[in-house]
């Protein structure tokens, strides 16, 4: 019995170390934003993540991709853009952004910004976190563009999203909070005065 436990512990340790070697995570905690890392390093990192093809943009923080031969709705982890059409979340966002009409107007701007970064047919790379799907069945991911920039971070750093941290997916929460604060202070994107 004692020998069996030792084998299980060893097997578990091997599986964990194998998983970390395959994930391709950045051990230094550096971001993949063009302003903080060089393009070749970021670009090579994307090769470690599964590839998908953009089908369409739903709104500022949700896109549809072809992944493993199937269409998948992908919700960008860590960010929240205003709603681009009337739904129950508009009421929640009204508290911080203004009336429903203003929320939807800002949501359309965020959607257009996302569409400027990803187009149908573009290759993207998906980094998954601890929880891979939300309660609606959407895939949860950090999406990398072909040039190595992270889509989630580009949206929030350019002022088109607020941070949204939903544990256990917290890998880039501090970076996103910092980007959000800087975008607000500089009056970027939705925060233009």
pLDDT higher than 60, residue 23: no
Task: Confirm whether 89 is a catalytic residue.
Answer: no
pLDDT bin (cut points 50, 70, 90) of residue 79 is very high
How far are the Cα atoms of 76, 77, 143 from residue 129, in angstroms, in the given order? 11, 9, 11
List 75, 127, 154, 175, catalytic entry: 75
Rounded to an integer, the average pLDDT of 20-44 is 42
List 72, 83, 127, 154, catalytic entry: 83
What DSSP element (H or E) covers 6? Answer: helix 2-23
Rounded to an integer, the average pLDDT of 101-120 is 90
Per residue in 129-144, pLDDT (tens digit) is: 999 999 999 999 999 9
Task: Confirm whether 184 is a catalytic residue.
Answer: no
pLDDT higher than 60, residue 34: no
Checking DSSP bridges between strand 139-144 and strand 70-76, what pairing results, if any? parallel
Determine the Cα–Cα distance for residues 110 and 164; give it in Å rounded to an integer: 15
Per-residue model confidence (pLDDT) at position 161? 94
List 51, 105, 138, 184, catalytic entry: 138
Alpha helix ranges (H) inside 118-164: 151-157
DSSP-derived letter for residue 37 is: S
Per-residue model confidence (pLDDT) at position 98? 65
Q: What tokens appear for 139 in the block?
A: 């895939």
- What are the boundaries of each domain within the chain? 33-191
Task: Confirm whether 56 is a catalytic residue.
Answer: no
Q: Which of 4-8, 128-132, 151-155 has the lowest mean pLDDT?
A: 4-8
Q: Which CATH class is domain 33-191?
A: mainly beta
Task: Supply the pTM of this predicted model.
Answer: 0.74
pLDDT higher than 60, residue 3: no
3-state SS record for 55-117: EEEEECCEEEEEECCEEEEEEECCEECCCCCCCHHHHHHHHHHCCHHHHHHHHHHHHHHHHHH
Q: What tokens appear for 17 in the block?
A: 């170390």
């Amino acid at each position: 019995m004692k020998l069996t436990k030792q084998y299980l512990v060893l097997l578990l340790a091997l599986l964990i170390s194998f998983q970390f070697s395959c994930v391709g995570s950045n051990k230094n905690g550096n971001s993949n934003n063009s302003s903080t890392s060089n393009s070749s390093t970021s670009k090579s990192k994307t090769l470690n993540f599964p590839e998908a093809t953009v089908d369409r943009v739903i709104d500022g923080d949700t896109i549809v991709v072809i992944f493993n031969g199937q269409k998948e709705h992908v919700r960008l982890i860590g960010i929240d853009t205003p709603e681009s059409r009337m739904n129950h979340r508009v009421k929640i966002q009204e508290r911080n952004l203004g009336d429903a009409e203003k929320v939807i107007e800002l949501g359309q701007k965020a959607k257009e910004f996302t569409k400027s970064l990803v187009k149908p047919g573009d290759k993207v790379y998906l980094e998954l976190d601890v929880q891979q799907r939300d309660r609606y069945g959407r895939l949860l991911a950090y999406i990398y563009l072909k040039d190595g920039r992270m889509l989630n971070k580009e949206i929030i750093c350019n002022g088109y999203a607020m941070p949204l941290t939903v544990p256990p997916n917290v890998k880039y929460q501090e970076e996103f909070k910092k980007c959000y604060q800087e975008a607000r202070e500089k009056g970027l994107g939705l925060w233009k005065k």
